[in-house]
C-alpha cells in the first residue's frame, strides 16, 4: 500500500499521479491564453480550487474515514463579438427559418456592395 499525505498545497502535486496538478495547469493556460487574446478586457480572470470533505460513518455512528475530492474551475469573462446587422430568411408562410448577414457590410445587412453592380459584356457599369 502506498500512502501519501497532504499537509499543504505542495503535496497536491502527487495526488492521483499528478492529475490535479495537470488539471490546474490546463486552467492556468486557459487563463493565460485569454489574457493574451483579450488584453483590452480588464475584467479579472480567476482559478478556483476547492477541497471538499464528507465523513464516512461506521456502524456505531463514529468517524470511520473521509471522502475527499477537489473541484477546480477557471473563470474568464464571457466572450462577445461586435454587433452585426442581420435579418432573417422567411419560409413561404412567413416564418423565420435562417439568419441572414452581409459579410461585406457587417453594419448593414441590406447595403449593396460593388460585387452587385450591374455591368455589360465589356465591364462597363449599366445605369
Strand 46-57 and strand 63-75: the pairing is antiparallel
First and final CA of the chain: distance in angstroms? 88
3 state DSSP class of 36: helix
DSSP per-residue codes, 64-83: EEEEEEEEEEEE-PPP----
Among candidate residues 78, 76, 85, 127, the one with its CA nearest the CA of residue 105: 85
Taking only the tens place, the pLDDT of each residue in 6-62 is 999 999 999 999 999 999 999 999 999 999 999 999 999 999 999 999 999 999 999
User: What pTM, to 2 d.p., does this model score?
Assistant: 0.63
Taking only the tens place, the pLDDT of each residue in 54-98 is 999 999 999 999 999 999 999 999 887 888 888 888 899 988 888
Amino acid at each position: 500500500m502506498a500512502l501519501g499525505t497532504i499537509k499543504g498545497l505542495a503535496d497536491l502535486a502527487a495526488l492521483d499521479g499528478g492529475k490535479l496538478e495537470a488539471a490546474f495547469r490546463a486552467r492556468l493556460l486557459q487563463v493565460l491564453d485569454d489574457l493574451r487574446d483579450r488584453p483590452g478586457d480588464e475584467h479579472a480572470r480567476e482559478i478556483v480550487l476547492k477541497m471538499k470533505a464528507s465523513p464516512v460513518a461506521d456502524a456505531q455512528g463514529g468517524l470511520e474515514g473521509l471522502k475527499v475530492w477537489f473541484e477546480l474551475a477557471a473563470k474568464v469573462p464571457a466572450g462577445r463579438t461586435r454587433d452585426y446587422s442581420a435579418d432573417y430568411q422567411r419560409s413561404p408562410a412567413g416564418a423565420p427559418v435562417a439568419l441572414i448577414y452581409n459579410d461585406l457590410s457587417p453594419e448593414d445587412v441590406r447595403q449593396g456592395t460593388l460585387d452587385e453592380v450591374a455591368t455589360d459584356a465589356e465591364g462597363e457599369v449599366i445605369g
